[in-house]
Structures are given as structure tokens and as C-alpha cells.
A and B are shown apart, each in its own frame.
Chain A
């Protein structure tokens, strides 16, 4: 997410990239005609996803991580900030990037493979639609062959039998593979995967993660949204940690998980149950779990209510970005000079 470097690379057309620059998204809390109240779901978030790499966004429910993904696929309009695909603003209505072109390159995979496939249509139908729309140069038998190729690619063989099945005839893991096949069938360069494995059986989660790892080698970039920081480290090169709409710490995954700097990341990592690790009491004060509702008027660091190292300045403004290691950034006053 070193911003200057990535934009330079894109300008030179070396790597394709999907980036968010200072993204802000507000949701209205009521339907009042005047003086409508808003909450700020995402506040000043910047990141870059490069082709062939995965960026994980980790955070608890309500931290705004899914909202970021939805904004990138234009399901939400940003309140402020710019989203760019290969340097082009995706929300610019007079720009040269149409919604269809965006959809061809950026696809989503959702959490629930039981809800994201239409139960009354076969797997073939689910794959034909994106191929007909985004791969319109394919005609006749070529469509069928391409569809079978996609199913083979995600490990659904024999492909011909799978194509004739209905979603209910497949297991959760197989359905999620169909969802991934449907996303890559458009020729997508970026996949926004919103908790793609959290509803699957534990024994098959790794299969899906490994499939996505292999796809990175084909040059596909992933935005991996998760609350499981261990899988973020496993799958993604880079990890960002979000708290109440703010990206509080980000950088190279190993650096973030092994040497967490922000108090929230430290809390998150100490709370993860891991086989063979003893638990120690972290927080005896159970009332200290106040998660604020962020509004456009809110001030300070969102973690100030829970932070053990809170200072008066933390309640007044959001800390600036500090670089703590080669590719590791944090927003916390403990590090600003």
C-alpha cells in the first residue's frame, strides 16, 4: 500500500491493480428528509491489490471490511475517495470504464454458497450466463468447452456430470468451487472473496484456500475478507486490520501477525485460540468492550475506548500513518513522534 510506488507501477502499465484511495462510505441511519443522520462505515481507507497477490482484510463484524469489497464492485457508491482499476476511476460516470467492463475484471465470491446459487438452475446455467455476457466472442461448442474447462480448473471433475447437476446435489465446498468458477469465467483479474470459507466444513476449507492460492499463480489478485487472522496469514501476502471503519495496521502478512504493533491487532492475535498454546487472561474488565458507532462527526481513534495505552490526544484526532518496518504501517499515537 505504499501509494506512490503502486500508482507509478500502474502508470507504466506493468502490473494491473485495484486500489482504494482514502475511501469513505456513509450509510444513512434514518429516512428523514432533512438533517439525515449518518454512520461512517468506512473512513479514510487506502489499499492496493496487485495482480497475482492477495490482500487480506481482517476485522470483527461491523468493522467495514465487507463494505470495502462491495464498494469495489460498485454495489455501494463511495461518499468520498477514489476507487481505481488499473488507474481508472471506477465511479467516474463520464470515464471510459463501463459497469460491464468493471464486472468483467472484478468479480465477487460470497460467504454463503447455499444462497449465492439459484436452486432451480443447473451448474451449466450458472456458468453460461457470465460466459455469454463477458466472453461474447465464444460461440456454440466453444462456450460449452470453455465452461467445462472452468469447472476442471476449480477441481470439479468429471466436469460434464457436474454441469448437469443442481446446486442442492453438491456439497458446500463444491458449491463454493462453482462460485469461484463463475467468477473466473468472465476472465476476471480480481476476485473479491467475502468470507469465502467461513460457512464451509473445517476439513474442506483448506481445499478452497489452496485453490485460490493456485489461482494467484495465474495472475489473479484477491481481496480476502475474513475474521480469521490465521487464514489471512496463510493465504495472503499482505494483511490489513480494520477496526470500526478504519484501517489501523497493514503490511506484509508475516510482519503484521508476528510483530503486531497496534494495540487492537495485539488484542486480536492474543485472543485467537491456537492448538498447543496456553490461554492467559487478557482483559478482566468485561465492561471494556465498548465499540463506538462512528459518525461523520466522531473524533479521535476508534479504539480509544478500549485501548490500554490511551492518551488524551487519542480522543481528539485520528493518528497519522507511521511506517514501523519495511512494509508494515500502523496508525497509532504510540508510534508518532
Chain B
């Protein structure tokens, strides 16, 4: 297989608080290959957004990257100088955030915001930048007459399209999308995702897609990683995770979504509440909410290992390691 565009090795991100450090991302490994869509799922506070911010080294206090490496084509992002980082961000890896309203400057027309990005990174004339900004807007299905519109003059779906246009304008190799469609209605969400996929075919960028919506994830991602309390608990091909989830948390998460077409039965979801990262147990972080928990789970932390013939499916659970069918 070809070289990954991004390799995350043993990454740790802590939030420093008065009551000690909370390990928001705890020794996570992840590879993203060119042209691939990798999904990261998990509930709020599991560290998926913290991980995304770490990739472009965007964290500031109280968040602190305490260990690990983030290799973009072999170069460690965490060791880059400020100027190297400035050039790396957006040109190589861009981001699309959940709230388009907050990502766009409300007092600058969207055309200028696009041109600004181009001029900051490339040595082109204003006219060329303007042309490219217009091309980029057309790619996402917005008429160029909207160059002179302010963000508040656009609907939520159009604003998110503008944000995607800005993310694409420098042709990055990787786009990180942090819940890009959560604030949108399903029909608009569907439209934007379809369009994003057409563009992905065209330009061949890789996507790191962060969401808690496993339904959407199942439809668009090639591989999915499930995070719980800062740990990667399961990682594998989307179809394996959706059809044969191994980790009790993944199973619970998949059971938490009522279906439209499936049988109408009472669902129970996952008992208990998400873990407080300031009071973590010694063993498995999921032990309190797990039905299958025993002494091994309380004593030792399970490793993320592959257990089946396909070594691409990895699970961090003692019960799966012991060969028990859950």
C-alpha cells in the first residue's frame, strides 16, 4: 500500500486544570492514506475534536500536546517552526468546522475571505486570486454573484458550502471536517455530502470526518475509528465495524440510534454517563458502563489489537482478546 498522507503516533493531548491534567487524547495512533475517508466517532468529550485540532497544531492553553508525533508525509507537524506551520496549515491540511457562522468573518464579504486565503499562501496577482475564488465558489454550487455577499445574507447550507470552498481553494491533500453538517437539516446535509464526494473524486484529497452520527459515517467513510474517553477503542473498515462491531461501546453506540425502516423495538442504549476524565480508573475506561466487566478489566487497560484474520480491524477489549463472543 502507498504511504500514508498523515500518521499519528502515540499522540497525547492534555487539558491542564486545577484538579490535575485531563487526558483528552490518550496515546492514539491513526494513519490516513491519500484519497481515503476516515471517520472518527464517539460522544461529546471523547477527544475526537481535540485530536483534529492537534493535527494542525492549533491547540493553545489550557490544552497541551504532551507526547507523540504527527507526521505529514514524514515531516513532524509538532516540530515545525511558526513559519513552516503557517505554510502547512490550509495549503496542506485545511479544516471545516461545525459552525460555519463562527468560521466566517461576519463583516467581510465572502469573496474577500476566499481571496485572502489565496493571497496569504500563494504569490499570485489579485485578479488571478479573484478568478480562483470564483472558480472555487462555482465548484460548490454557489453563483459567483455571491462573492459580494456577507455571511448573514446566506442560508446555513450555503454558508457551510462557502466554508468548504475556502477549505478546497488551495487544493490541500487532507481536509479535516469537524461535524460539518451537524447544524444542518438532513436534506441539506445530504446535498452537501453528495457534492463533497464529487469533488473528492475530482481532486483526490483525503478526509478526516468527525461526527457522532454513525448513520452518516457508515455511508461515507472507508474506515472508522471509535473513541471513548480519549482512547481509540475500535478501528477498522466501515463495513466491518457496522456489521460486526466488537467493542461493547461500539455495539452500544450502534444500538442507540432508532431506525426508520428496521423493526420498532425498545432500545436501551448505553447505561450510565460518560467518564469524567479527571477521575479515570486503572483498567478499562469503559468498565463502569460495561455489562461484561470483570477483574481483568478493572486491573489492566486493554490494548488496541487486531483479533481476526483481517488485521485491519482492531479492538481494545479484554473480552475480545480472550476470544469471547459478545
Residues of A within 8 A of B (CB): 60-61, 171-174, 201-207, 209-210, 213, 227, 229-231, 233-235, 254, 257-258, 267-269, 271-279, 281-284, 286-287, 289, 291
Task: Report chain B residues within 8 Å CB of A268.
Answer: 186-187
CB proximity to A under 8 Å, residues B218-240: 218-220
Contact B256 A277 (CB under 8 A): no
Contact of B219 among A173, A269, A277, A282 (CB under 8 A): A277
Task: Report chain B residues within 8 Å CB of A209.
Answer: 258
Which of B67-75, B121-129, B269-277, B302-310 lies at the interface with chain A? B269-277
Interface size on B, residues (CB 8 A): 44
Contact B194 A281 (CB under 8 A): yes
CA distance A204 to B270 in the complex (A): 7
Contact A289 B252 (CB under 8 A): no
**B325 contacts chain A at the CB level, 8 A cutoff:** no
Contact B243 A276 (CB under 8 A): yes
Contact B253 A233 (CB under 8 A): no
Task: Report chain B residues within 8 Å CB of A278.
Answer: 219
Contact of A271 among B189, B254, B257, B274 (CB under 8 A): B189
CA distance A254 to B258 in the complex (A): 13
CA distance A206 to B189 in the complex (A): 23
Contact B156 A202 (CB under 8 A): no
Contact A277 B258 (CB under 8 A): no
CA distance A274 to B220 in the complex (A): 11
Contact B268 A210 (CB under 8 A): yes
**B212 contacts chain A at the CB level, 8 A cutoff:** yes
Contact A273 B269 (CB under 8 A): no
**Residue on B nearest A234 in the bound complex, by CB:** B258
Residues of B within 8 A of A (CB): 43-45, 141, 155-157, 185-191, 194-195, 212-216, 218-220, 242-243, 252-254, 256-261, 264, 266-271, 273-274
Task: Report chain B residues within 8 Å CB of A272.
Answer: 186, 215, 260
**Residue on B nearest A282 in the bound complex, by CB:** B190
CA distance A213 to B124 in the complex (A): 61
Task: Report chain B residues within 8 Å CB of A271.
Answer: 186-187, 189-190
Contact of B43 among A202, A258, A283 (CB under 8 A): A202
Q: For the complex formed, measure the closest distance between the CB of B85 and the CB atoms of chain A, giving whole angstroms.
A: 33
Beyond A171-B274, A201-B274, A204-B273, whether A210 also contacts B266 by CB under 8 A is yes
CA distance A201 to B48 in the complex (A): 13
Q: For the complex formed, measure the closest distance between the CB of A239 and the CB atoms of chain B, giving whole angstroms.
A: 11
Contact B257 A230 (CB under 8 A): yes
Top 7 A-B pairs, shortest CB-CB distance: A206-B269, A234-B258, A60-B185, A273-B215, A271-B190, A286-B141, A201-B43
Q: For the complex formed, measure the closest distance between the CB of A56 and the CB atoms of chain B, giving whole angstroms.
A: 12
Contact B260 A202 (CB under 8 A): no
**Residue on B nearest A209 in the bound complex, by CB:** B258
Q: For the complex formed, measure the closest distance between the CB of B245 and the CB atoms of chain A, giving whole angstroms.
A: 10
Contact of B261 among A61, A203, A267, A274 (CB under 8 A): A274
CA distance A231 to B43 in the complex (A): 18
Contact A283 B191 (CB under 8 A): yes
Task: Report chain B residues within 8 Å CB of A282.
Answer: 190, 194
Contact A277 B268 (CB under 8 A): no
Contact of B254 among A174, A205, A275, A289 (CB under 8 A): A275
Task: Report chain A residues within 8 Å CB of B267.
Answer: 206, 210, 234
CA distance A201 to B266 in the complex (A): 19
Beyond A274-B215, A275-B215, A281-B194, whether A205 also contacts B269 by CB under 8 A is yes
Beyond A258-B261, A289-B157, whether A206 also contacts B256 by CB under 8 A is yes
